[in-house]
Chain A
Amino acid sequence: MTSLRNHWSLLFLLLTCLMFVLYFLWLQIRRYEQLGAYAFDLGIFQQAVWLMAHMETPFVTVRGMNILGDHFTPILYLVAIPYRFWAHPFWLFLSQTVALAAGALPLYRLALRHIQKDWLAAIIAIGYLLHPALFTMLLFDFHPVLLSIPFVLWAMDAADEGRPKVFAIAAIFALACKEEVSLVILMLSAYAAIVRKQKWAWWGVVGSVCWIAVVLKLMPFLAGVEHSAYLALYSRWGETPLGIVWGILTRPFEALRELVLCQGHATAPGVYPLLLLFPFAFFPLLAPDLLLFGLPNYALIALNERVTFRELGYQYASTILPWLAVASMIGWKRLLQVGSELPTSLQRRWHFLLTLTWCICVAFSAYRYGPPVIQRFMSDILPPKEAKAIVDFLNRHIPPDASVTAPTSLVPPLAHRKRIYMFPNPFQQVAFGPSVEALKQQIEMRVEPLPVSEFHKRMREQPVDFVVLKARPYSYWPLGFDAYETLVLHVLTCPDYGIIAVQGDVVILKHKADFSQGLQLLGVSTKRQEQLRDEVKVAWERLKSVRW
């Protein structure tokens, strides 16, 4: 009878997971097909996985560096297997969506073992799925770190049950998802070794430390720099990894203040940690012994200079959520244990109180915090017909093996090629390459356009086959509006490139195509160089009002 009941709760959980996968997969594909996805971070991974699928070095021209030097994510080689047969970001979306849904299963298993109540285990796992920090991560393009979540949870389950082999396998897969996950595995091993007294877990500690040491050397080597640029995000604490740790330890009150306030880009001080804890009904606070081991991963987010780390909708919480989910399960267990002191007649009411509180917190937070984030990421999409017309137009004029530079939202449909750049790269390098400056440009968007003569020189010396421009892009990133408009005029007045096609507000230029003939497609007929820029500007402004 018990196994039959377990069976029904598991089936219910699996059905919930299936609905979760179908709904979020649909949203992601819709966002991609309607040109709402960006070069950063979908185009980057599309190109990386496409190169891996074709046995090429994953030097991603969208980012200007080897993808493994940017973030150490060898798990992408697994995603590349189906990509070889059908190159479509569907595989990226499917893998990350299934990964998040699959995380519910080890959590259910853990909860069932500790709580011994199948339906409670199922609602705890569903609470994890409905955490607004979790499902909103899926909307922002693709991030391999999301693939680590089920492996980390399997590793937590194995550490809890004392199964070193399963732990090792899960840990290896998790480590392959991003360099930050090594800190999760290190702290998890330490937890299993110190708190759970699992002697074998010391091997996990040693292995994780070795992995961190190797990755910290390997990433800069692959990127061709001395130190990973991401260390600069912690520069107020120190220059090197050990220096950063030392800086935090020697300024504990400042660090504590940052950990508590954790201010985001638009998120007020103190709100982000509450957004993480409240959907789990604050139950994780009842497992401080476990949360303490998750603190270093939280510190990576809270002490970082990039404020977007502390916003819902981004992937950064993915290394904290497994800790919170398991801590909430332990919180549940402790509350149920405490309640066993109550007379039997009142225990039912106690269980009902716990369940009601959990369900209301989960439902309210999912309803209140999730949809605005989804709406934000779905607000940039074009009408389906317009998006399809643009993609058809691009495919009609640009051969699959040609090199292209295009604005961020037009990179994903063109990403499966050896050389694809985000405009204005490669002519003016912005957010391109492994430097700290490139990283800062991603945040600041204060790029000064090059003078026209220098820009034309670079267009001549570092040509790409095609340049795609859009008069009304939803996003000018990584440029501001003024810089984008200036650089567009630089491109349109460069005699080395000619316009070969104009449709709607999209213009395609080809290297060495007829310049004068191209201008006629734009409605510019002047032969006088001094008037050319003004006339092109007028034509460009006209293009902004042309509808598809």
Chain B
Amino acid sequence: MQWDKVKVTVAVLFVGGILAGTIIAAIRSLLPRWTVLAILPYSPPMLILEGLVVVHIAFWLRPLTFGHWALNGLVLGLFAQSAAFIPYDIHSLLPYHWSALITVPAALIGMALGER
């Protein structure tokens, strides 16, 4: 793959990851507290919603990327972890939990579905 294609793919995944991360951060900030169950910082309904956001974005971005869908999905899923770096309010970040890595399988699914 040419270097230019690598650059464009990384750029698309970077911006897509920020978009996904911002939407996830917005969901975490704006949804009512009932979506948060006691066991994990992020409740299953919340995580499913976050996963669905990433699936859609990955599906939509697949035509813009070059290279193998699995690698792109993996990178997009990791870039979507930018949600962890978006402050919850003016003073704090939400605690990180491994369950937020749901963005990775979600991005893989989205990329796989978008594969022509």
A residues adjacent to B (C-beta < 8 A) = 132, 264, 266-268, 270-271, 274-275, 278, 281-282, 311-312, 335, 338-339, 341-342, 346, 349-350, 353-354, 356-357, 360-361, 364, 368-369, 372-373
Contacts and interface: CB of A to CB of B under 8 A. Distances in A.
B74 to A, nearest CB: 19
Contacts of B23: 360
Contacts of B90: 132, 267, 271, 275, 311-312, 369, 372-373
5 contacts: A274-B87, A311-B90, A312-B90, A349-B64, A360-B19
B4 A341 contact: yes
B37 interface: no
A270 B7 CA distance: 29
Does more than half of chain B's interface fall in helix, strand or loop, or is it mixed? helix
Interface in B1-23: 4-5, 7-8, 11-12, 15-16, 18-19, 22-23
Contacts of B89: 368-369, 372
B87 A369 contact: yes
Given A282-B82, A361-B18, A353 B7 contact: no
Given A275-B90, A281-B22, A356-B19, 17 more contacts: A264-B91, A267-B91, A268-B93, A271-B91, A271-B93, A278-B85, A281-B15, A338-B7, A338-B8, A341-B4, A342-B8, A353-B16, A353-B64, A354-B15, A357-B16, A364-B25, A364-B26
A327 B18 CA distance: 17
B85 A274 contact: yes
Interface string B61-92: 10110000000000000000010011101111
A278 B19 contact: no
B18 A346 contact: no
Chain A interface, DSSP helix/strand/loop, else mixed: helix
Interface string B83-106: 001110111110000000000000
A312 B87 CA distance: 12
Given A353-B12, A368-B89, A369-B90, A341 B5 contact: yes
A132 B86 CA distance: 14
Contacts of A264: 91
Contact of A357 (B4, B8, B19, B29): B19
Contact of A353 (B19, B86, B87): B19
Contact of B15 (A274, A346, A357, A372): A357
A507 to B, nearest CB: 37
A311 B18 CA distance: 24
A2 B25 CA distance: 38
A282 B18 contact: yes
B104 to A, nearest CB: 20
A281 B18 contact: yes
Contacts of B25: 364
Nearest to B88: A368
A372 B26 CA distance: 16
B22 A338 contact: no
B19 A274 contact: no
Nearest to A282: B18
Contacts of B8: 338-339, 341-342
A72 B15 CA distance: 42
A268 B11 contact: no
A12 B19 CA distance: 25
Nearest to B29: A368
Given A341-B7, A361-B18, A346 B87 contact: no
Among B29, B64, B86, B90, the most chain A Cβ lie within 10 Å of the Cβ of B90
Contacts of A339: 8, 11-12
Nearest to B86: A278
A487 B4 CA distance: 72
A530 B7 CA distance: 84
Q: Which 5 pairs between the two chains have the least Cβ-Cβ distance?
A: A357-B19, A338-B11, A341-B8, A341-B4, A268-B92
B53 to A, nearest CB: 12
A7 to B, nearest CB: 30
Nearest to A370: B90
B13 to A, nearest CB: 11
Contacts of A266: 91
A270 B93 contact: yes
A307 to B, nearest CB: 12
B9 to A, nearest CB: 9
Nearest to A354: B15
A360 B63 contact: no
